[in-house]
Structure 1
């Protein structure tokens, strides 16, 4: 199914849903989900993975969110959440939120502007007590001087200079508000939020259970009584379990194209669609470790990537070629094809690219008789392992012999955090299609998520549209984190699941399920 056709189908479903009377929405029932992995923790502010977002987003609220009913996220689809309204001052350096009055945390304590203030003071390192183990999105808020409060129901973000993308960043699933009165140690295992569902249980590697929040400030929400999540390691087993009706929605972007065909054959009534994911497969090279401190080797590796082969094997040609920002047509900031084709390694002459890469390696003394032996570390998920196998095969063409080192999720993120790797095959999920939510987070010098230790002062400058393409060229020429492909994937849900719509430029921001109901 093409992206345009899928979008049309979703658009028709939106119209149909909008036309349905409110009385058709049914209350009760349990939404049964499966998980493809083991969440490292329940603390969304400290994590960078959908493994934590999918099961625990429903526990929390943001100040603002992307409208779950709009398939394509943008600044124009941002709607109120804990904030009833917001406004900028004339200098565009103060963003004031009027907060919803009377909201309660799940433990009964009142939510106030102080919670907003202390959350972002923790994120920018200004809190009196700071016990985050990780702070992966601190770099989003380098222009945030402080958050001031005016009574219980008003909070103002005070910036050192305008930041046009701030509102979009605040709508990310990773921008939830935390309670001031709950220690971070508790938030990692038994989170307390204001969201539509309350945390009940997290049995690591087995199951997760959430129940309806009876005091939710959005009246009549959620419709569901419970959400249960079961961990299943095998993707084939997961697909079979969904097809036989054991689960209601597949894990985000978990359905490959070959498996999509199998699911549809087994469950012809299931609703399935292919969509862009804003996930990018990329090559990580720790440029501190010899011999990869030599930019020529990094250039050769980048030139050796045959992106069309990755696309054919992994996605049957439905993946997107692009740079660091999400590829067009879904990407708001993606490079046009004529610009992309001028980038190193992206041109159509893959044979010339490979010959140039071989010449570089030969000049450095490598050959079939004298190869460079390496380990490629990657995460123990099919979406990582499969492209890692292709990468290892392609690197043989430039005299690099690689063995795969497969790591479970906690060890994978721990290694990346410590920069304890040399070569890695990574899949980077971007929660917000905005330069401040991607280029800043993944490439700026002081970001925790700059896993390759790449640092270029030019990249740390302002990154709005007029210079994004120039930044992209610098990243490609420096082989900062060579992007192999932007992936596509399938999502399926049972026909009785209502008001669920995967988004086409982020898989993170529509997983709260507060508007979902079961028509059975």
Structure 2
């Protein structure tokens, strides 16, 4: 029988901590659109929408930027996914049903029959096994950003074409959430056998749309998959995702109707401009966001191998004052630790202010920062801050940090680049200090803390630090089923991370999505990584 997410995790710390109330804090979206879809959905038409960054490649397994998902998600399916109307409840995508053993050591999935890849080959359990083997143990030359996520999988069995059984090395209260991750798209076993790196450059999925073309710097397009395994879906004939890297160009296109939406998010000022210009033709939906920017130090580059230098720079940042100003001009809003503010396992403000970098007495913090730099012999520190050239919110975040560090006598050059070279620099370690991002899709603490595992365990740790103490605390919270004990492990990990100052959240984001009211069926959520398949979108024209 099918076990729901809540039933599967019944009695676990994960379920108690993450219950249904934690996911949609501050959500404001249009319920009438969802009801209209059920009653009046129309087939046909082409959707033009904006994508405000271009992906460095096509492989979500090796990516952590939404640009990859917004480009390729319509072409792929996952084993499970989130039901956005009931977020964070999980539903099947390629899985017809699933069972979780009471000891959480076995996960059995029954797959939907008669599914085909876009090249015409039949989908089976072998494809799921090949995909998850690649995720948990990538071959040489292949990058898996989810390797640590699936380290607890022991074996994957395929007793028949429609059954997959995951046997675990140890219980993991976050596994259902991991199986529902939008990043874990299913690839063809045949393609992976031919070339494990093929998904970086070739698209072949089972999703609602088939790939037509990608013209770099212009657009990506797809057409309805006539063999899609979900009856009557998708509604659209075609779609075109138009790359609009400049915010002004995107807003002009939205106002003029050249695009009907942009599914990442805009700033409050951009929202107000479009509302004034478009009136009741525009739909505005808002939510807190499972996304933050991080200040990240490359601990392999002197003087950032010195914890005193790193801590000094974090202590110089006035987060509480900065959030007030930045929230008026950007998508940056909340001050928080490693879990989204307001989520059940987030650190309360009264505890957060005691940690390095979060004091509300900024004068005292900056005095201490200057002392630390002097002790380290770097009173006149100069360095380059590496940043992404997305106007919202990377540019204002970079400008803010340069100003904060100037106030303790530090000189910073702010260097911004396109997404591909930006990510390449972080991955290669070719930077001193960077604005990184933690791109989450739910409030699961394991998900948010995976980024801080030692670099030798997780390539997403851009600080390049290896810290066995953080690894130990991560493991303890992952296995702990008592909610209060789990909180204690999370707080201890956060304290260690911030005292060592490898990397630290700067601000958490606030999501504002603008769409034309003729665009129906798209669902708002706290994550811009979700809902990118477009299978339920239709045009009310």
Is TM > 0.5 for Structure 1 vs Structure 2? yes
* 1:393 to 2:403 alignment: yes
- The C-alpha deviation readout for 1:233-277, integer Å capped at 9, x for no partner, is 211111111012111111412x11111111111111201133222
Structure 1 residues 151 and 5: CA distance shift in structure 2, 3 A: closer
Q: In the aligned structure 1, how far is the partner of 2:203 from the partner of 2:37?
A: 35
Conservation of the 8 A alpha-carbon contact between 2:438 and 2:448: no
Q: 2:57 aligns with which of 41, 50, 53?
A: 41
- The C-alpha deviation readout for 1:160-198, integer Å capped at 9, x for no partner, is 000110110111110111111123454223301001111
How far residue 305 of structure 1 moved from its aligned partner, in angstroms, is 0.9
Gap regions ≥5 residues in structure 1: none
- The C-alpha deviation readout for 1:410-447, integer Å capped at 9, x for no partner, is 11111111111111122321234223322123433420
Give the CA RMSD over aligned residues. 2.0
2:252 aligns to what SS in structure 1?
helix
Q: Which residue of 2 aligns with 1:120?
A: 132
Conservation of the 8 A alpha-carbon contact between 1:190 and 1:199: no
Q: Following superposition of structure 1 onto structure 2, how do residues 212-291 of structure 1 map, counting pairs within 5 Å?
A: 212-253=224-265, 255-269=266-280, 270-291=282-303
Q: 1:326 aligns with which of 326, 332, 340?
A: 340
Structure 1 residues 83 and 468: CA distance shift in structure 2, 3 A: same
Q: In the aligned structure 2, how far is the partner of 1:380 from the partner of 1:312?
A: 23
How far residue 6 of structure 1 moved from its aligned partner, in angstroms, is 6.1
Q: Following superposition of structure 1 onto structure 2, how do residues 304-323 of structure 1 map, counting pairs within 5 Å?
A: 304-316=316-328, 319-323=333-337
- The C-alpha deviation readout for 1:361-391, integer Å capped at 9, x for no partner, is 2333444xxx111111111111222211111
- The number of residues matched between the two structures is 500
Q: In the aligned structure 1, how far is the partner of 2:129 from the partner of 2:24?
A: 42
How far residue 316 of structure 1 moved from its aligned partner, in angstroms, is 2.2
Conservation of the 8 A alpha-carbon contact between 1:121 and 1:146: no
Q: In the aligned structure 2, how far is the partner of 1:202 from the partner of 1:184?
A: 21
Q: 1:463 aligns with which of 452, 477, 483?
A: 477
Structure 1 residues 113 and 291: CA distance shift in structure 2, 3 A: same
- The C-alpha deviation readout for 1:432-486, integer Å capped at 9, x for no partner, is 4223322123433420011101222232123244321221122121212121111
Q: Which residue of 2 aligns with 1:167?
A: 176
Q: In the aligned structure 2, how far is the partner of 1:184 from the partner of 1:50?
A: 22
Structure 1 residues 205 and 142: CA distance shift in structure 2, 3 A: same
Q: 2:528 aligns with which of 470, 488, 507?
A: 507
Q: In the aligned structure 1, how far is the partner of 2:431 from the partner of 2:315?
A: 22
Q: Following superposition of structure 1 onto structure 2, how do residues 74-473 of structure 1 map, counting pairs within 5 Å?
A: 74=88, 77-125=89-137, 130=139, 133-182=142-191, 183-253=195-265, 255-269=266-280, 270-316=282-328, 319-328=333-342, 331-367=343-379, 371-382=380-391, 383-445=393-455, 446-460=457-471, 461-464=475-478, 465-466=486-487, 467-473=489-495
Q: In the aligned structure 1, how far is the partner of 2:396 from the partner of 2:176?
A: 36
How far residue 26 of structure 1 moved from its aligned partner, in angstroms, is 0.8
How far residue 43 of structure 1 moved from its aligned partner, in angstroms, is 1.4
Q: In the aligned structure 2, how far is the partner of 1:432 from the partner of 1:204?
A: 31
Conservation of the 8 A alpha-carbon contact between 2:62 and 2:143: yes
2:286 aligns to what SS in structure 1?
strand
Conservation of the 8 A alpha-carbon contact between 1:146 and 1:157: yes
Structure 1 residues 133 and 414: CA distance shift in structure 2, 3 A: farther
Structure 1 residues 111 and 5: CA distance shift in structure 2, 3 A: closer
Give the TM-score, by structure 1 length: 0.92
How far residue 281 of structure 1 moved from its aligned partner, in angstroms, is 1.5
How far residue 5 of structure 1 moved from its aligned partner, in angstroms, is 10
* 1:497 to 2:484 alignment: no
Q: In the aligned structure 2, how far is the partner of 1:180 from the partner of 1:242?
A: 40
Gap regions ≥5 residues in structure 2: 1-22, 479-485
How far residue 112 of structure 1 moved from its aligned partner, in angstroms, is 0.3
* 1:486 to 2:508 alignment: yes
Q: In the aligned structure 2, how far is the partner of 1:341 from the partner of 1:174?
A: 34
Conservation of the 8 A alpha-carbon contact between 1:93 and 1:158: yes
Q: In the aligned structure 1, how far is the partner of 2:464 from the partner of 2:69?
A: 26
Q: In the aligned structure 2, how far is the partner of 1:332 from the partner of 1:106?
A: 41
1:458 aligns to what SS in structure 2?
helix
Give the TM-score, by structure 2 length: 0.88
Conservation of the 8 A alpha-carbon contact between 1:169 and 1:432: no
How far residue 21 of structure 1 moved from its aligned partner, in angstroms, is 7.8
